[in-house]
A = this chain, B = another copy of it.
Amino acid sequence: MENNKEAIFAVGKQSVKLPMPIYIRASASVVGEKEGKGPLGEYFDMIGDDELFGCTNWEEAESTLQKEAVTLAMGKAGISKEDVRYLLAGDLLGQTIATSFGLKEFEVPLFGLYGACSTCGETISLGSMILGGGFAKNVVCVTSSHFASAEKEFRFPMEYGGQRPPCATRTVTGGGAFVLSTEKGSNPKALITGVTTGKIVDMGVKDSFNMGCSMAPAAADVIAANLRDFQRDPGDYDKIITGDLGEVGQKALFSLMEQRGFDITKNHMDCGMEIFDKGQKGTLSGGSGCGCAATVLSAYILKKLEEGEYKRILFVPTGALLNKTSFNEGQTVPGIAHAVILESCSTPL
């Protein structure tokens, strides 16, 4: 008993290693029309014909993204909701209403989380610890965002036709769900082996359109912490994959990592830069939102891990902490990022 008191699975200053294999047993992604027409279109499980997904308003449409993604992921894993001990979920809307109304019908104990666009990493981090701690066998992690509900929540209603500068990103309409399990199942997608939890990092950026630059410092901080805690070099990861920095944020990240003595230019990837074609109308600096990292992880990154093309990656969803009120009151836009180490099941290191 005494031994446990030493937090035996803590690593370095802000990481943990999981005490047993935690599998991503299945996952699913549901996206909107524009995402479906992007370069990853063929990999998503479901693509909506329009942005409403058969609903009457944007918020319900976003709830549908979560509901469908969870249903699909459980189906792929061959489990029912009775097998799921906890849902860990979040979205970008005030009071996370996309989550509340999207998940209530499952009747599964729920931990609601908020980490802005980093929430996908936060759900997987806490889900892994719940499983690794012996508190559950299966949990489902789900996050979503929706272009139109996010514009309404953070900027202007769609009808206003607000203009956005080139450094702005486009909120991805998408939901991604992941069945995390202590059991391998017949066709596991990846192993979760470690977690590095981010701090709020505020470098004083006040431009709510330039979220890439507000999040890059938090991404740099947590990536550096992960490398330090696990005593690794950037090259020990096939890819270091941020959530939604976009082109502008990526430049800032490279510079901030260089200041810390790390070169990640060769193996960095950003989900926001992958999900849309460069120049795809209205996508500007790239994609963003809780749904960006979640759908790209589900559809593309896990596929590469399953096929063994990636052996080990660092997945780092990134979030910008603001709302309309904080912005109007002149607050800065701090960032936060949560890192998860994912390894291939087929070709272990």
Residue positions of A touching B, CB distance < 8 A: 1, 4-10, 14, 16, 19-20, 57, 59-60, 85-86, 90, 92-97, 100-101, 103-104, 107-116, 122, 125-126, 129-137, 152-153, 182-183, 197-200, 202, 321-326, 329, 331, 334, 336
Q: Which residues of B contact A100 (CB under 8 A)?
A: 200, 321-322, 326, 334
Q: Are B109 and A198 in contact (CB under 8 A)?
A: yes
Q: Which residues of B contact A60 (CB under 8 A)?
A: 329
Name the CB-closest residue of B to A89. Answer: B114
Could you give 12 example pairs across A and B, Cβ below 8 Å?
Answer: A4-B134, A4-B182, A6-B137, A7-B131, A10-B85, A19-B133, A92-B95, A97-B322, A97-B326, A100-B321, A101-B326, A112-B122
Q: Are B129 and A95 in contact (CB under 8 A)?
A: no
CA distance A110 to B336 in the complex (A): 9
Q: Pick the contact of A113 from B19, B108, B111, B322 — CB < 8 Å?
A: B111
Name the CB-closest residue of B to A98. Answer: B326
Q: Which residues of B contact A16 (CB under 8 A)?
A: 135
Q: Which residues of B contact A323 (CB under 8 A)?
A: 93-95, 97
Q: Are A137 and B97 in contact (CB under 8 A)?
A: no
Name the CB-closest residue of B to A331. Answer: B101
Q: Which residues of B contact A95 (CB under 8 A)?
A: 92, 94, 114, 116, 321-323, 326
Name the CB-closest residue of B to A198. Answer: B109
Q: Which residues of B contact A103 (CB under 8 A)?
A: 200
- Which of A10, A94, A153 has most B Cβ within 10 Å? A94
Q: Which residues of B contact A9 (CB under 8 A)?
A: 133-135
Q: Are A321 and B97 in contact (CB under 8 A)?
A: yes
Q: Pick the contact of A134 from B19, B86, B137 — CB < 8 Å?
A: B19
Q: Which residues of B contact A329 (CB under 8 A)?
A: 57, 59-60
CA distance A321 to B285 in the complex (A): 34
Cβ of A226 to closest chain B Cβ, rounded Å: 12
Q: Are B104 and A10 in contact (CB under 8 A)?
A: no
CA distance A8 to B130 in the complex (A): 12
Name the CB-closest residue of B to A321. Answer: B100
Q: A92-B95, A101-B326, A325-B94 are in contact. Are A5 and B113 (CB under 8 A)?
A: no
CA distance A200 to B109 in the complex (A): 7
CA distance A59 to B326 in the complex (A): 8
Q: Which residues of B contact A322 (CB under 8 A)?
A: 95, 97, 100
Q: Pick the contact of A7 from B19, B109, B136, B198 — CB < 8 Å?
A: B136
- Which of A1, A111, A133 has most B Cβ within 10 Å? A133
CA distance A21 to B248 in the complex (A): 48
Q: Are B116 and A115 in contact (CB under 8 A)?
A: no
CA distance A130 to B14 in the complex (A): 13
Q: Are A199 and B107 in contact (CB under 8 A)?
A: yes
Q: Are A183 and B122 in contact (CB under 8 A)?
A: no
What are the nearest 6 A-B pairs in CB distance? A133-B133, A94-B94, A109-B197, A95-B323, A104-B200, A100-B321
CA distance A131 to B6 in the complex (A): 10
CA distance A234 to B97 in the complex (A): 33
Q: Are A90 and B104 in contact (CB under 8 A)?
A: no
Q: A113-B111, A114-B114, A325-B59 are in contact. Are A135 and B10 (CB under 8 A)?
A: yes
Q: Are A198 and B110 in contact (CB under 8 A)?
A: yes
Q: Which residues of B contact A85 (CB under 8 A)?
A: 7, 10, 14
